[in-house]
Structure formats: structure tokens, C-alpha cells
Structure 1
């Protein structure tokens, strides 16, 4: 038997709403909210521990055992409660509370001896972060690293815009200085997408351990990346402006590296 919550004013439901709205609450409790069957399954596949499943029997018709472990609590909620918690207008009637990961550089492990890494410095907009995560997933990079993160990675907007790719990628965060040190210690060449002292991106060799580094559209990359990188790279543009969406730029650069490695099919 599982318990049922009918009132949106329930203390536990209020705590769930805090998790949705407040990064501080997510960090304090070490938990976050996942909405949707696919996203929850991707989180489980990505090694995330599911503490609680909340479902609305009026909407959800799947198999709860797909999401349950020994430590998972199952709670049925009324339609009123579910609609209070649901972030999306089109929804599947299931929400999870999961334990977050530290995402520390020191815990980062590569599956291959010749890793390909995508690095994004100071991304702020959840939509852009989600799109870069989807790019990283599509390229199946060995790691996605965020330098100087400005936004909580477990923000519901990021989970939603990444379509769950926040769970499919091997992710770490750190300061720009820490990441540069990490790359040098591990003998990983890195190429910074920056206009100064740059060569066309397709003239470089990305077949050895490589990291591609992108900045924001507004401010680009910090000076540290410009001076420390093995080579600065640029994407030639023929239009009136000299920038493009960061996820598009990341896709062009990372898939050139994939092409050189013969990983495209």
C-alpha cells in the first residue's frame, strides 16, 4: 500500500514546490524534482537514486515498478496536487524526487583513453544549457564540463529543455582555473572558440585527447582560455554578424572532431 495526498496545502507538497522553485533548497537538501516518464528513466539509467515517486492515477497508466527501488517511496497524489507540481502542460502523471550528484572534477572518469570533451564557460540561460546538453548527448562525448556555472544544473527548466540529457551525459563542474589545470594534468589538448589569434576550426587535429571550449554569446570566453589554449579556433561566417547560438557553434565544432575520429555513421 502507498499513501495518498489530496491537499496542495500538505507540508510535503509545499516542500516539493520549494524544490521546484528554489536552487537554495535543492542544494540544501541534495535533492531535485524530475517530471516525466522518459526523464525519470534516463535519470535511473544515469545512476541517479530515486527517493520518491509521486503519481496521479487519473493521468498515469504506466508500471510503477519500472521506477521503484527498495529505498523509493511511492505516493499517490490527487489531480489538484499533481497540477500544482507539474511543470509541463502536457504531462504524464508522474514526478520523481531524486538525489543530486556532486558533479566534481575529481570524480570525473572517462570510458575511453582518447577522450573527447565539450566545455562550456559560464552558461546562464537554461534553454542554452539544455541545448548544449542535447548536443553533447548527440555527439556522445566522453564528458561535458561547465566552467564557472551560473545556473543550478538541476533547475527544472534545464531538465526540461535538455529532454533528460542532463542525465545521459558524464558531467562535471569547476572553476575555469581548476578545469585548465585538470586538462593539463591529464594531457588533454584544448581548443577555445574565440576570435582573437584564431585559426579556422577545421584546420586543427582533434584526433588525440581533446576538449572543445565554448563561451556565451554575450561575452565569449574569458582571457584565461585565450592565453592557455593549445589553439584558438573560429567558425568562418559570411553574414552581417559575428556570432551564433552557442549550442549551434558547439555542435559544429564537436562534430568536426567526431568526423576526424571517424565516429560518424
Structure 2
């Protein structure tokens, strides 16, 4: 058991809280057994696995490597989370490209441009997974893709095989190649999102809260869409806006497929 915060591994994990150190060492820090298991399910390579028995008595029999036991005091020093649950892993990052994505007929795709806040990126990835979105494409990312807050907010689904990084031009060409219509969110001269036929192949393009989408996507769109709001409010948090549109698309698709929607 590691009982000293001066242990070489622990000191290095503390350094990995910085994005620069993670990039230099080509490592990702994953805090929490739920997120660690998601990374494992998606086939990521594990480098280190730490377990604090004082915080978690839960065993992980399918662990890809033998967990290293760590004392409570040392684990709290190493963990990124304010309230760690007793598991921490170091894994190798993996970045997917457009050609890695697998699509079914009439796919629904979420494109995120210039996302700045890790929490927003993670929340939208979590929404995409919850709504069974076929793929997420990230353009011009303004934060660390594997920031621990992205991992936590996404419930680990940043590790999904269906999340890719590409520039705007590549993404547009790929969408056209796959006959996917482009729907760009825009606060002016736009169609209400509920008036869109989401049952066909469609992409939802989301921009930043501060400036919205770039001119590239506004001009490239087959249709600009808007969430109608009360006068005096012109925008919502981007993750909230994404969730509203994504679940309207899911509702329409479930209805058109004859799915049984559980009523509460």
C-alpha cells in the first residue's frame, strides 16, 4: 500500500492535474469507478489503477490491471475530485477521426463548435449518449478534450467510439457525403426547432454561448434553427439548448418509428 504522498507515482499524478503535464506524458487521469469502467468498456489502455479501501469497499474483478492500494490521506492528495470515491486511473488518450464513425440509416449527429467550458462539453456528450445520438463531432475545441471535468460531466462518455474531432470544412464534406442535412442554431432569421423534420438524416450544429456559430456554419446550413424564447432573453446555456433540441429530435424519431414512449 502507498502511504506516503512523496511516492513518485503520487507526485506525478498531482502534476497531471495540469493539462500541459497530461499532454507531455500522453496520459489521461480518470477519477471515479463509474468513469473508469466506461473507459474500460470502450477499450482504452490502462497504465495505472489506484484504489483506496477506506473510501470504497467495492471490488472490480474485471480490472485490466492490478489495482494499487493507497491510504486515505494519500488518495485525497492524488485525486482530482473534491469528494473522491476511492478509484483513480491513468489511461492512454485516443482521438477518433470522421472515418472512424459508424453510422446507421438516417443518422442524427451533434456538431459542437469552439466549446470553451469543460463542463458544457461534458454535459453535451452526456446528453448525446442519453438520447442515443449516432455521433458527436467537435470542431475547433477550445479546451482540453480529456479534461477531468469533461470526463466527470459526461459520465465517462467522452470515451465513446462515436465522438470524433475534425475541422469545420472536413465535417461539412463528411455530412454531405453521408446525405445529412445541416441545421445550424442561430438567434436570427431562423426556423423554430419544433418545425424541423428530424426523422431524416440530420446534424444539429451548436456554437458558443458568447458568439454563437461561425459564419461558416451559418452559411453552410440547409436550415437555421432557433429555440423561441420570452422577450428579453436571447440565449440559454449551450448545454441546455443542445438538450432541448436533441430530445425534440429524439421524440420525433421515436414517434415516427412507432416506439412506445413511457408516460409519467
With normalisation by structure 2, the TM-score equals: 0.90
Question: Please, which runs of 5 or more residues in structure 2 have no aligned partner?
Answer: none
Matched, 1:214 2:206: yes
1:11-53 CA-to-partner distances (Å, cap 9, x unmatched) read 22222222222x2332333321111111111221222232221
**Structure-1 residue corresponding to 2:4:** 7
- The 8 Å contact of residues 216 and 246 in structure 1, kept in 2 or not, is answered as yes
**Structure-2 residue corresponding to 1:20:** 17
Question: Please, which runs of 5 or more residues in structure 1 have no aligned partner?
Answer: none
- The 8 Å contact of residues 51 and 73 in structure 1, kept in 2 or not, is answered as no
Matched, 1:87 2:80: yes
Distance in 2, Cα, partners of 1:189 & 1:97: 39
Q: How does 1:17-96 map onto structure 2 within 5 Å?
A: 17-21=14-18, 23-66=19-62, 68-69=63-64, 72-96=65-89
- The 8 Å contact of residues 113 and 205 in structure 2, kept in 1 or not, is answered as yes
- The 8 Å contact of residues 113 and 208 in structure 2, kept in 1 or not, is answered as yes
1:27-81 CA-to-partner distances (Å, cap 9, x unmatched) read 3333211111111112212222322211122222111323x22xx2432222222
Greater shift in the superposed pair: 125-134 or 218-227: 125-134
SS in 1 for 2:17: helix
Distance in 2, Cα, partners of 1:24 & 1:174: 22
- The 8 Å contact of residues 118 and 144 in structure 2, kept in 1 or not, is answered as no
Distance in 2, Cα, partners of 1:213 & 1:54: 39
Matched length? 257
- The 8 Å contact of residues 76 and 84 in structure 2, kept in 1 or not, is answered as no
**Structure-1 residue corresponding to 2:117:** 125
SS in 2 for 1:192: strand
Structure 1 runs of 4+ off > 6 angstroms? none
Distance in 2, Cα, partners of 1:256 & 1:18: 42
- The 8 Å contact of residues 133 and 169 in structure 1, kept in 2 or not, is answered as no
- The 8 Å contact of residues 195 and 234 in structure 1, kept in 2 or not, is answered as yes
Matched, 1:108 2:106: no
With normalisation by structure 1, the TM-score equals: 0.90
